[in-house]
Chain A
Amino acid sequence: MALAVVVVLLVIGTVIFHFSQAFGGPWYFTEIATDWGLIDFTINVTFWVTGAAFIILNLFMAWCVYKYRHKPGHKAVYEPENHKLEMNLTVITTIGVVAMLAPGLFVWANFVTVPEEALQYEVLGSQWQWQFRYPGADGQLGAADVSNVTEENPFGINPQDPYGQDDVVVNDPNMHLAVNQPVQALLRSHDVLHNYTVTQFRVKMDLVPGMVSYLWFDPTKEGTYDLLCEELCGIGHYIMRGSVTVESQEDFDAWIAAQPTFAETQSGPEPDLIAGQAAYAICATCHGAQGEGNQQLNSPKIAGQKAWYTERQLNHFKVGARGGDGDTNGAAMVPMAMTLADDAAVRNVSAYIETFPDEPSTPTISADVANGGDIYDRNCAACHLDDGSGTWYTDAPALAGMSDWYFVTQISNFLAGIRGMHPSDTYGEQMVSMSTAMADLEEINDVAAYINTLR
């Protein structure tokens, strides 16, 4: 009896909950931003068919439980089967299934057939970053293969392929598209499976190492959308984020014109170490002549850090991604970074810093090394490597031999939302999430103490 009532209430509750979400509730499909409205249509058809089945079957069951519950003197009707009824139900079910499947297959046929006017671009996934490549003026993407990948050629573009020279490379997880221009995304991965998903686009597909998969869509609504990886790709899966900005053709053209081509990334001028050395003079007052750091001045060791990392951080200081609210020491760095007038200056000084001898800094922290080692191996080593040397591949700086006190303040800053929250600091944002592997200051110290052993 109670059971029948509860089943009825659950049906009513489910229907109410559904409609409360489907019409304006916060937990329902995002507003579609492509012309895949047919997918939403198929979903609606399925909702009506299955919703009817859900309501009818459960209410009928509840009625049966209520009506035929045991009462004294009551006896069940003996009826082994009713073949006609079963056949009718089979037919009705089949009709319902066909009603759902037919639009589904029809729309799938659209999905697998890429229209000729669709422009191609490439999505490249690697642990745990997005990168993108657009064909240049020739309209063709150059051949690329994982065997060509180096720090200088992260896309693995074949340097011999003439089609590849004018390819526009976006070594940043934020990409742009022109509105109302159908596009085909060619998906490629350098390591594991990833999945290119923008919820508002409705379509997604895995990136599979060793092959090229694809999907296509026609963006119809301007805006900036979150790009997520939706195929488990390792410990950093949940921080593999990016964005897709859909904008007018003019804005898109302007954006893409500002991106470097492959040839440009390969033939840029060598950094000028002499100029870097000159510019470093001002840095040396705090960071020391050899970048060895000075804890009294809150200046970390910078020797031993690769140029790409130093360069990125200097730029962060320049644009205000670091040294903002709450980061008093970082704030002191902002005017210093501002003395570097342009990108070339930043590159020169970073390259110069890379030439310093990497003498391990003096440990200042003693804590539970075993616990720190456990946390490090389980979480940090995936990007910063077992020996703490870091790698450009995961955008992870060196940790071993660097200033341990600085590590503690920076992790604390990540955890407190002081560092890594600026929209332009995509890699810092990853650290905001990963830093939670350390529960408190004590555990941060433990990890710092462990890193001190890696030298």
Chain B
Amino acid sequence: MDAFGGAEVRAWIDRFIANVLDRTGELTELDRRAGDGDYGTNLRSALGRARVNLEGAEDPAAVFTAVSEAFLNTGGTSGPLFGMWFREFAKAFTEPVNGTNLATAAGNAAAVVQRLGKAEVGHKTMVDAMVPAAQALRAAAERNAGPDQALHEAAAAARTGAESTEQLLARRGRASYVGEHARGVMDPGALTVAMFFAAANG
């Protein structure tokens, strides 16, 4: 497939929501060991609101706007950051979604989260999966890879990035308060980002 239309984007988001809702227990457990344990609850309420907002959302920008608004109406700090992250996808996507606007969206989105969250790669946050995924999408776009292939590579990069957080000592975010206790625990925000890109290809 050379381009994603509204239906494909909607299916991607629906798979993402379903996969995350299936694993909120696991995400909460990670946050309990490395944060304050409210991550799964906040995520579940954001995704519940997203499902309501998604009623009737058909084009790619509308789908991502629905998800963004739901996250912006979520407590904690990861909720609003995800809201601003998804918002950049809504802003960059025109139908159909191709490799170029995927790369633009993910690049802008990672930059917004880094700026607002004041986090760099290696701080054991969601940024550790967002930045490598954006880089993979940029590299794929430069060799004119289709969106399927680009998102496949982004998913692998995000997964590797998320796994790298296991051994990191947190510098930002909730896990920074518990120091060494969080070493060995994957950052649940980074894992969520990996799940987002993994959901793209069914």
The answer on A and B forming one complex is no
Using CB atoms and an 8 Å cutoff, list the residues of chain B in contact with chain A.
none
